[in-house]
Amino acid sequence: MGWTIGVDVGGTFTDFYAANDESGAVHVGKTSSTPSNPAQAILTGLSDICKQHDISLDDITRLSHGTTVGTNALIQRSGDTVALITTKGFRDLLEIGRQTRPHMYDLQRDHPVPLVDRENRIELEERMDAQGDVVTAPAREAIEKAIDEVIKTGATACAIGFLFAFRNPAHEQLVAEIMREKAPHIALSLSSEVQSEFREYERLSTTVLNAYLQPIMSKYLQTLEDGVSRQAASATLGINQSSGGLMSPQRSRELPVRTALSGPAAGAVGAAHVARQADRHNIITLDIGGTSADVALIRNFEVDVAFDRDVAGFPIRLPSVDVETVGAGGGSIAWFDRDGLLKMGPVSAGATPGPACYGQGGERPTVTDANLLLGRLSTRGLLDGDMGLDADLSRAAYQPIADELGFSVEKTARGALGVMVANMVRTIRTISVERGHDPREFVLMPFGGAGPLHARDVAISLGMREMVVPAAPGIVCAQGLLVSDLKEDFVVSRRFALNDAGIKILRDALAYLNKRAAIWFKQEKAPADVRMLQLVVDARYVGQNFELAVPIASAPSLGTTDIRSANELHILFCDSHETAYGYASPDDGVEIVNVRLSASARLFKESDPVADDASVLDGKPREHRSVFFNDDEAVETAVYSRAELISGQTINGPAIIEQLDTTTPVYPGDSATVTPHRHLIITIGEGE
């Protein structure tokens, strides 16, 4: 009886999702986070959930963990001194970036100051050309002098980033080799290892971020590994990456920057899992929390991946789940702009003081207050009685705005939610339309504490007709960790024309990448039957300066025969271009700039859903209350407890479905059906 456990560390709570490999039984748990040492909450929560559900700690075979240690360190800039060795003449590159300012009109706002101070950026006389041929080889004395300077800075980590190191890493490797001899105590990050792709600023920024995080992550993982091995000796630890797969603790020490955007990634992977269970191929996720909402696209059960992201204002170029964040959540505050328009967010009441209805001193009208005023939220509050909500305080908060508008408080609240929905719709449009997809062909999947409350208006605005509300919308992230594959990405950055000669280069690249993947599979002890490879090329029309990632083959093993002819790949590229950008130029030449191989090993085994225990479920409403949906009048509405619903049961709106972590309104004319995995499928009626 093996158990695997997903642990998602959030700002307020650490969530647990435990699944039994054989019986399919699942349990969820929650404990308060311990931000100063996140490992503490993990270890406490782990023993709590085991005690509570009679799980023997020795039966835990795997612990999958999503950490925000890296992200927080970057936001708070809490790391130690870090140094950089770079090509002579280019130490300011890290500071110049792309020479832009973050806001066109704002004279006061700047990009963040680099993580490496200028005096700690050491230049070395060396140079490669665009083909990776040596122009200037670094002299041994010069290297040693540079290393001495690094040592003098007192840095605990050092990034090494040279121009064209993605073509030829020899100079970076040479410096690293000497440095490991001379200064073994300094952690090293090489741009050719962290992110071996062209565009020096983004590569350098990613490498510096990695170096900055190395000491922090190393210390954190040590604490965690020690604790886990004491408590659950048989458990292997997997750390979640921004790309939505797991890596070993050793890889995380080497490449901590890969965790920097892993928070939203777990949610998207969890959503993809729910999508498979609900048999809905194309999903737009909407994860609404207290201060922000995350949106991601899932196509054919796969999460979209992007390469250009940033964290705390620093660009990161690594495969990352393509999640767009908008500053709109339950705590978002309603306010009048200087031109008299009503805005929602991005300012949020946060956890303290929180929305007015929390009674913790918040006086400004928030999204949560609006939901309470409309009856969509219960005055008993989310945690089912733990913390009641005071609708009078919400009313008092909205009254001034209502007076200003000459509206009733309820109409004002509905309008405020409409504005919030408009913000989210804009974000969803950005991520779907920019990528060439029509949201009407997708199903909306709301989760997070506030997702299901607003999803219906979002769906209507985007012309979507169906929604899936996961069984446990509050812990989709922890669930995502549990079901994540072990994953590693390899890349060869080469620019070559897509023609017969190019196919040969592509085949050589695949052979090289295959070798690296094989080594990795072996290191990670991944059995052959769970392996999967995906070959992707970043390609563009000759003269374009923006690449399109085109998947060209996917199978448990890939050989040269899996690479089709230049002609076929050309057509494949044109089709992708047509989808993404709305046109193709079939007569134009195509070139490839990166060849990527993504290797994954499936860890999670899907089991059948556990049958309902009919003796405790009755599927009947527990009460009725009056709720405002889209009319000016409230309607008497049945309120159900999610935990009491029966698989296969259909509830016709108007209805409210409450559960521990969220509330789902079913609008008049809509209907909700419970799936065998206890997800809710909501079909939007034709009435509107």
Partner 1 sequence: MAAKLDPISLEIISNSLRSIADECFAALMRSSYSTNIKERKDHSIAIVDREGKLVVQAALTLPIHIASMGGLMRCVLDKFDGDIHEGDIFIANDPHTAGGTHLPDINYAMPIFVEGALVAFVCNIAHHADIGGMVPGSMAGGMSEIYQEGLRIPVVKLFRQGTLQTDIMDILLLNVRVPEERKGDHNAQIASCKLGARRFNEVIDVHGLDNVLEAFDEIMSRTAVRMKAAISEIPDGTYEFTDFMDGDGMGTMDIPICLKLTVKGDNICLDFTGTSKQVLGNINTTLNAVQASACYALIGALDSDMPSNQGILDVVEIICEPGTLLSSVFPAPVAARAHSCQRVIDVVFGALSKAIPERVIAAANGANTTAVFSGVDPRTGKPYLYFETLAGGMGARATKDGKDGVQVGITNTSNLPVESIEQEYPIRVVEYGFIQDSGGAGTYRGGMGLRRVLKPVDHECVFNGAGERFRYKPWGLFGGQDGGSGRFLIKDKDGQRRLDDKPGEVQVSRDDVIIVETPGAGGYGSPEKRDAKAIELDQRSRKFSDSYIEKHYGGNANSSTEERQ
**Which residues of this chain interact with partner 1, rule CB under 8 A?**
89-93, 95-96, 98-101, 103-108, 110-111, 117-119, 129-130, 163-164, 166, 198-202, 336-343, 405, 407, 412, 415-416, 418-419, 422-423, 425-426, 429-430, 433-434, 461, 495, 541, 543-546, 580-583, 585, 588
Q: Which is nearer to partner 1, 25 or 580 (CB)?
A: 580
> What is the C-alpha separation between 513 and 150, in angstroms, rounded?
33
Q: Which is nearer to partner 1, 96 or 614 (CB)?
A: 96
User: What tokens appear for 122 in the block?
Assistant: 């050491």
Residue 300 carries which DSSP code?
A: T
Label residue 484 left, alpha or beta by phi (over 0 means left) and psi (-120 to 50 means alpha).
beta
Q: State the sign of the Cα–Cα–Cα–Cα dihedral 266, 250, 167, 533.
A: negative
Maximum CA extent, the chain: 83
> What is the C-alpha separation between 51 and 53, in angstroms, rounded?
6
Pairing type for strands 82-87 and 121-124 reads parallel
> What is the C-alpha separation between 423 and 344, in angstroms, rounded?
8
Q: Which is nearer to partner 1, 162 or 447 (CB)?
A: 162
> What is the C-alpha separation between 509 and 489, in angstroms, rounded?
14
Q: Which is nearer to partner 1, 341 or 611 (CB)?
A: 341
Q: At its nearest, how many Å lie between partner 1 and the CB of residue 475?
A: 32
Q: Which is nearer to partner 1, 546 or 636 (CB)?
A: 546
Alpha-carbon distances, residue 216 vs 250, 309, 311, 414 (angstroms): 14, 22, 17, 45
Answer whether 266's CB lies under 8 Å from 425's CB.
no
Q: Which is nearer to partner 1, 26 or 419 (CB)?
A: 419
Residue 295's beta-bridge partner residues? 286, 324
Pairing type for strands 60-66 and 236-240 reads parallel
Q: At its nearest, how many Å lie between partner 1 and the CB of residue 243?
A: 22
> What is the C-alpha separation between 184 and 566, in angstroms, rounded?
47
Answer whether 670's CB lies under 8 Å from 653's CB.
yes
Q: Which is nearer to partner 1, 385 or 543 (CB)?
A: 543
Residue 59 carries which DSSP code?
A: G
For residue 321, count CB atoms less than 10 angstroms from its CB and return exposed for 0-12, middle for 13-18, buried for 19 or more. buried
Q: Which is nearer to partner 1, 405 or 555 (CB)?
A: 405
Q: At its nearest, how many Å lie between partner 1 and the CB of residue 638?
A: 30
Q: At its nearest, how many Å lie between partner 1 and the CB of residue 510?
A: 22
Q: At its nearest, how many Å lie between partner 1 and the CB of residue 405?
A: 6
Q: Give the helix/strand (H/E) hosting 21.
A: none
Q: Which is nearer to partner 1, 430 or 523 (CB)?
A: 430
Number of Cβ atoms within 10 Å of the Cβ of 555 = 12
The number of residues making up the chain comes to 688
Q: Which is nearer to partner 1, 191 or 236 (CB)?
A: 191
Q: Which is nearer to partner 1, 18 or 464 (CB)?
A: 464
Q: At its nearest, how many Å lie between partner 1 and the CB of residue 20?
A: 45
Q: At its nearest, how many Å lie between partner 1 and the CB of residue 25?
A: 45
Q: Which is nearer to partner 1, 164 or 521 (CB)?
A: 164
Residue 43 carries which DSSP code?
A: H
Q: At its nearest, how many Å lie between partner 1 and the CB of residue 422?
A: 4
Q: At its nearest, how many Å lie between partner 1 and the CB of residue 459?
A: 14
Write out 440-475 in H/E/C secondary structure.
Answer: HHCEEEEECCCHHHHHHHHHHHCCCCEEEECCCHHH
Say how many CA atoms lie within 13 Å of 135 toward its Cβ. 14
75 closest CA partner among 216, 219, 190: 216
Q: Which is nearer to partner 1, 61 or 461 (CB)?
A: 461
> What is the C-alpha separation between 36 and 500, in angstroms, rounded?
57
Q: At its nearest, how many Å lie between partner 1 and the CB of residue 546?
A: 5
Q: At its nearest, how many Å lie between partner 1 and the CB of residue 361?
A: 27
Q: At its nearest, how many Å lie between partner 1 and the CB of residue 171?
A: 15
Say how many CA atoms lie within 13 Å of 557 toward its Cβ. 8
Q: Which is nearer to partner 1, 344 or 558 (CB)?
A: 344
User: What tokens appear for 552 in the block?
Assistant: 């060209």
Q: Which is nearer to partner 1, 89 or 559 (CB)?
A: 89
> What is the C-alpha separation between 312 and 73, in angstroms, rounded?
10
User: What tokens appear for 536 in the block?
Assistant: 């992707």
Give the N- to C-terminal CA distance of the chain in Å, as an integer.
Answer: 50
What's the gap between Cα 514 and its chain centre?
27
Q: At its nearest, how many Å lie between partner 1 and the CB of residue 407?
A: 7
> What is the C-alpha separation between 485 and 605, in angstroms, rounded?
10
